[in-house]
């Protein structure tokens, strides 16, 4: 297994940390007008488009595959009247891979959605995702498994962010 720490895939699986996403840009907007009584504070919205560049080793051939493309993330957070936090996350991903030795091409397109209601600090989140990269030709598809763990302390500070990636033959 190859372990990578990368901001490339940070927004991919269920990338939920508002502090990182809001640092990429965004604007504050008002609370949900459909339910104004449920929110005591302004909503924070971020909608960055990030470039994705990384390399993963295929378990089938041992070849490095260069991954690139874009990830458009939309993230919203609201503070509820009881002090909890409502998080909404949406990501559109358009990625491609190229085998650095063979030149085999892979494509990956997906949409991810996540909602967490009334979460208070501290919190931990662990997520597992599978990203299928379809080969363009007779080569096996590349499947990238991700494991991510995030810990936020009682004051809302990010304390742990670990990503692990590995590929499997498919």
Question: For the chain, how big is the Rg over CA atoms in Å?
Answer: 18
DSSP-assigned beta bridge partners for residue 107 = 96, 134
**Backbone region of residue 116 per phi and psi (left: phi > 0; alpha: psi in -120 to 50; beta: other values):** beta
- Residue 36 host element (H or E): none
Strands 49-57 and 64-79: antiparallel
Tracing tokens 């763990």 back to the chain, one arrives at 149
Residues of the chain with pLDDT under 70: 1-50, 52, 118-119
Cβ–Cβ under 8 Å, residues 46 and 18: yes
Whether the full predicted model's pTM is greater than 0.75, yes or no, is no
DSSP designation for 1: -
What pLDDT does 44 receive? 56
């Amino acid at each position: 297994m190859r372990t990578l720490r990368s901001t490339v895939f940070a927004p991919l699986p269920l990338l939920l940390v508002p502090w990182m996403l809001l640092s990429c840009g965004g604007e504050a907007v008002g609370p949900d007008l459909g339910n104004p009584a449920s929110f005591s504070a302004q909503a924070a919205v971020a909608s960055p488009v990030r470039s994705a560049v990384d390399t993963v080793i295929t378990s089938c051939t041992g070849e490095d595959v260069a991954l690139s493309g874009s990830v458009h993330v939309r993230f919203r957070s609201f503070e509820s009247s009881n002090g909890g936090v409502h998080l909404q996350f949406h990501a559109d991903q358009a990625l491609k891979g190229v085998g650095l030795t063979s030149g085999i091409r892979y494509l990956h397109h997906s949409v991810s959605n996540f909602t967490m209601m009334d979460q208070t600090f501290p919190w931990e989140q662990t997520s597992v995702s599978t990203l299928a990269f379809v080969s363009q030709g007779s080569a096996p598809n590349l499947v990238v498994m991700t494991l991510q763990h995030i810990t936020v302390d009682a004051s809302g500070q990010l304390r742990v962010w670990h990503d692990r990636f590995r590929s499997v033959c498919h």
